[in-house]
Structure 1
Amino acid sequence: MSGGNDDGRHPTSGPPPDQPPRIPLPRASVEDTGRPLPALADLGDPAPRDPAPRAAAPLVLEHRVLKALLGAWALAACSPEETAAVEEHLGDCGACADEARRLREAVGLLHPAESLDLDPALRARVLQGCLERRPPRIPVPEWASPYDAETARLDALLQDFGDAEWHAPVRLRWFEKDEPTSRRTTVAGVIAHLLTVDGLVAVALGLEDPMGEVAADRPTPAARTDAYWRASHFPPTRAVRAPWREQTHALVRTVAFTGGAGDAGGGAAGKLAVPYGDFELPLHDAMLDRAFECWVHAEDIADAVDYPYEPPSGSDLHQMVGLAARLLPTVLSARRRAGLAAPPPGRHLVPAGEPGRSLRLEIEGSGGGEWLIPLDSPAAVGSAEHEVAHVALDGAEFCRLAAGHVSPAEAAAGQVGDRAAIRDVLLAAASLSRM
């Protein structure tokens, strides 16, 4: 037989120059033919096999070859035999062991950034270390640093969110008329809420209102949020992160340029009034208020995506608690006028600057301290001599009470003294909350 093909060419000869090369078809497996498989004896292995496979003999490679494999070994790209040979060699060769360690460390730098649940005090420590080496030309005021820190922490939490996380359901909670109230939204909706309410501070500083024309006749935080949700793409999407982030940076830059960095009270710039519709706060308190809201809603977001989130650093938490303690006498007075709190004994107000009945608020843990809350008049002075009640709470727990996330009945860890005064102060703390 000639063994030639139909076209007369020899089977080992290639295709003509004007035709593409032929690609051989894959060979059929013996399992696909329907024929019985050959016995082990037919394959030249008559002896029974050991129950456990024998270890393959290690490769014997020259030093130059093993050194060339170190890069692939660091990337975990070697075969099992090569890996065994390299690791055996590293136990005998110090120079290659040092090189392998350096390569493994370099590979670690190639990994993408991962989300880390960092200590909230880490940012403050890093900044302090940097500022000790080179003071800033324009320092951020002390009363604005909590806002700077909390917005940075929330932004770090958001950086790796996918679409599923941005649309995760979140329930905003607060107290209204001494009753728990809630509103359902999404993670993106929470950031939109922060954007619109932070816009009140932006407008007071002369910056652009993120709501534009939608903000007309919308003076309160709740009204602004509702208007933004209705006017924008609803539910909001991850696109809301960029304007929120830019606005937080603009606020921090602006308060840094306006001065007052060396004055704990904020100086002239810190006393600039920020209207909230039915009340107003000086700028230094408004920035603390926005830091507090940012942390509270960051916890809401973290709970929605099942991620741990720590309270603020002790110094920042102390400032937030101090703001709530300073607001309590005014809120308590407003509740009395609305018939929601008991009038002071004798139905008379203590003159401004005079000591009156007081409640000692003791905050334990990080950010702790003690505050004497005047009970009879916002203008009165807290006095230890006129103390009628004592309440002890954890710092983060008190802030969650002021945020409307914890009921007054569940908040206090210790209560001593006038029960009516304690009840009125705890309810006043809960009424600090709002949407």
Structure 2
Amino acid sequence: MLKSLLGAWALSACSGAETRAVEDHLTGCAPCADEALRLRDAVTLLHEDRDLDLDPLLRSRVLENCLGRRPARIPVPAWAVPYDAETARLDALLRDIGEAEWHAPVRLKWYEDERTVRRKSTVAGVIGHLLAVDGLVSGALGLEDPLGPDVPELNPTERTEAFWEALDRPPNRTLRAPWREQSHALVRTVSFAGRGIANLTVTYGDFALPLKDALLERAFECWLHADDIANAVAYPYAPPSGPHLHGMIDLAARLLPAAVAHRRRAGLAGPPRGLVTAGAPGRSLHLEVEGAGGGHWYIALDSPAALGSPDHSVAQVAMDGVEFCQLVAGHITPEEAAAGQDGDREAIRDVLAAAASLSRL
């Protein structure tokens, strides 16, 4: 009987005697008390002075909460999938290593000033490096920068050194959580942002890339450093899938004409020999990459603005895909690259050296 009065009580439509009877009953009946509270909350929505417009941030908060409880399948843009995949693979490796292995020594190396440069670090230090440099993409997207607010413009090496120096103790496994959180945030943000976000500029200090290439570059570095970590802890680690590897090789190939031109201005590459006009694109080098992710690229030799053309090829280089990536990462030198070579020796030397010069800490 009293339960049937709960609706009227919530609407303040009961008589005085009925109100007292209902409220006396609610003090001793938990189910009715819960129902009464639910009805009273519903009634408040009927008040005319109530603003029924949804909070504009409600959708974002609900999605964030849902993703935090159970990661959902969101439509990741094709150009962000390699980064999503490589960070997930590295995280799986990190889950499998023990406490002591986070301090295993890792020797980072890259090619700079015509020689191999080495830097000692640890597994945890490498994760700190990835966290710091991925922060360049975070900053471009308006997300939190791991170096803190109002950080000055720094290149990747400077950011890494600044991050390491700011730590109050040697890098350890606690860096895994913020690194993984940041990688998830990057993927979620670009997935919800829409198509126009792909061409957002990400500045690396002395050069810049559109976001779609920046995330591909970050996927490349994530894989190479995951391989460094796997070697340090004696863990098997495979290269990226063929399509992802192809995208990474394609990015490096697209950057090579500018790298050759940069070395030429520094006196480290031969002079241009072709007349670069609309009708004469200049010389090119045929880069044939074999294996998974391979393909054919024609690298413009005389101007970064020119298009490489098979009709103007003066040399050919054939390399395995993983070995080409090792060269681009500076893990092997141009002299160590086991490349099949034919044609103009200077052009071959300039392109292999330019590939190695793309590397950095």
Question: What TM-score bracket applies, with the shorter chain setting the length?
Answer: 0.7 to 0.9
8 Å CA contact 1:353, 1:379 repeated in 2: no
Amino acid at match of 2:202: V
CA deviation digits over 1:168-191, x for unaligned, max 9?
A: 000111000111001001000000
Equivalent residue for 1:294, pick from 217, 222, 225: 222
Q: Which residue of 2 aligns with 1:383?
A: 309
Query: Displacement, 1:340?
Result: 1.0
Aligned equivalents of 2:173 and 2:270: distance in 1? Answer: 47
Aligned equivalents of 1:352 and 1:204: distance in 2? Answer: 35
Q: Which residue of 1 aligns with 2:205?
A: 277
Q: Which residue of 1 aligns with 2:282?
A: 356
- Alignment of structure 1 residues 65-76 onto 2, 5 Å: none
Aligned equivalents of 1:160 and 1:201: distance in 2? Answer: 27
Q: Which residue of 2 aligns with 1:177?
A: 113
- Alignment of structure 1 residues 49-128 onto 2, 5 Å: none
What's the RMSD between the two structures over aligned residues?
A: 1.5
Aligned equivalents of 1:249 and 1:354: distance in 2? Answer: 46
The structure that is helix-richer by fraction is: 2
8 Å CA contact 2:275, 2:281 repeated in 1: no
Query: Displacement, 1:218?
Result: 4.5
* 2:337 aligned with 1:428: no
Q: Which residue of 2 aligns with 1:72?
A: none
Deviates more, 1:334-343 or 1:242-251: 334-343
8 Å CA contact 1:353, 1:381 repeated in 2: no
Q: Which residue of 2 aligns with 1:326?
A: 254
Aligned-partner SS, 1:256: helix
8 Å CA contact 1:391, 1:412 repeated in 2: no
Q: List, as ranges, runs of 4+ consecutive aligned residues in structure 1 with deviation greater than 3 Å.
A: 351-354
Aligned-partner SS, 1:184: strand
Q: Which residue of 1 aligns with 2:164?
A: 229
Aligned equivalents of 2:73 and 2:90: distance in 1? Answer: 26
Q: Greater CA radius of gyration, 1 or 2?
A: 1
Query: Displacement, 1:351?
Result: 3.4
TM-score after normalising by structure 1: 0.65
* 2:341 aligned with 1:405: no
* 2:232 aligned with 1:311: no
Q: Which residue of 2 aligns with 1:53?
A: none
Aligned equivalents of 1:422 and 1:412: distance in 2? Answer: 13
8 Å CA contact 1:358, 1:384 repeated in 2: yes
- Alignment of structure 1 residues 187-206 onto 2, 5 Å: 187-206=123-142
CA deviation digits over 1:131-175, x for unaligned, max 9?
A: xxxxx9841111110000000000000002222110000011100
Aligned equivalents of 1:233 and 1:138: distance in 2? Answer: 37
Tell me the matched-pair count. 290
8 Å CA contact 1:220, 1:278 repeated in 2: yes
Gaps of 5+ in 2: 1-71
Amino-acid identity (%): 67
Query: Displacement, 1:413?
Result: 2.7
